[in-house]
Amino acid sequence: MADNNGGAVAIKGFNFQTMAVIFFIVNNIDDDKFSAYVESEEDFTLDKNGYKSYVQVKARKLSLKLLLKTALKDSGDIEPSILEKNLSSADDGEFLIYTKELAAKDLKSMIKKSDIFVNEEDVYVFSEEQKKSIVDAFKKDGFGESLIKNLNNSRLFVSKFGDSLKDSQRYLIGLMSEKKIDITGDRAKMALNELFFLVHKKAEYLVQKGYEKDDYEKKKLTSDELKSIFKKAESRSFFYKFVEDTNYSTLFKDKVTKIRNEIFNEYYVERKMLNTIFDSQKLDFDCPNQDLINKMKLELDSDKDKFDNCDKYVKVSLIIDYISERAVQS
């Protein structure tokens, strides 16, 4: 019987890679100089004030032997090993292999080292004895001095979670708590979902010949983008609680909540109009939720040209979304 698991394995591997990116994002969320590039020189590239780390992700158990394993191409050329490919990513910077697991014997011989992207106890470098065997392998395969030079900046990181989404989510939510990120209610899962979507979106951008610099920047996740996601998660949580505290019927609440997920696809222009209308106004958050909604809805009802395609459910959803954003910013 044919093995039909190839697709599932590929998806699982990419999910593991995505969660690895998110791990570094959460670790560096408070650093304004941090950014990440997805599917760039390597699986992803970390940047902190110009200092880069080129990260290759492997969702399996590795050993020093596997890191150095080469293959012979049909052309007769040698297919570089995992380590050789990683060290060939750039001329300088840091070269990191992020793996699901590393053979205990090899890990025991490695040395823990500090790193600006993760905690000190999490990163490993090769021992002098290991470096010698690696250099010998490089020379045997005919690779140049540049790889040997980059070997001094080589790092290995053993993942804190397995390759299941449930496993990684549980760990990352705990890490978010350590970083003093608000994870009450569903905020943590919302933020992870937003990050997951954003990483995939950045990965899809193609770097085209002649436009390399511009296209490369499209793959960039900035500190501001990342912080806005956690704010957005907080805003969503506020939205749901605000809806529940109204006296609308259950059916009405369900429709309003469902529309909120469609706002930035179907009602983006109308939602931006609320900023123009209400940003200069003081909102009375002390009055009952229903009263605040009704007062704001009167202004939307009076402007039929701009909100003609919005029924009462859409208007209420737009209003509560705006209130939520204002509330978490105050």
Report CA torsion sign: 45, 48, 52, 58. Answer: negative
Q: What is the mean pLDDT of each run of 10 residues along the chain (330 residues)?
A: 61 89 92 91 92 95 94 81 92 93 95 84 90 88 78 93 92 90 79 88 78 80 84 86 95 95 82 92 91 95 89 96 87
pLDDT of residue 5: 58
Structure tokens given for 57: 């992700």
> Are the C-beta atoms of residues 296 and 285 closer than 8 Å to each other?
no
- C-alpha 274/C-alpha 280 separation (Å) is 11
- The structure tokens listed for 245 are 């505290």
Q: Is 278 helix (H, G, I), strand (E, B) or coil?
A: helix
What does the alpha-carbon distance between residue 149 and residue 62 come to, in Å, rounded to a whole number? Answer: 23
How many C-beta atoms surround the C-beta of residue 6 within 10 A? Answer: 9
Q: Write out the DSSP string of 132-157.
A: HHHHHHHHHHT--HHHHHHGGGEEEE
Q: Judge whether 45 and 90 are in contact, CB under 8 Å.
A: no
Under 8 Å between Cβ of 217 and 40: no
- What 8-state DSSP symbol labels residue 268? H
Q: How far apart are the first and last CA of the chain?
A: 61
pLDDT for 179 equals: 86
C-alpha span between 13 and 202 (Å, rounded) = 17
- pLDDT value for 4: 57
- Rounded to two decimals, the pTM is 0.76
Q: Which residues pair with 52 in a beta bridge?
A: 47
Give the pLDDT of residue 155: 94
User: What pLDDT does residue 6 have?
Assistant: 59
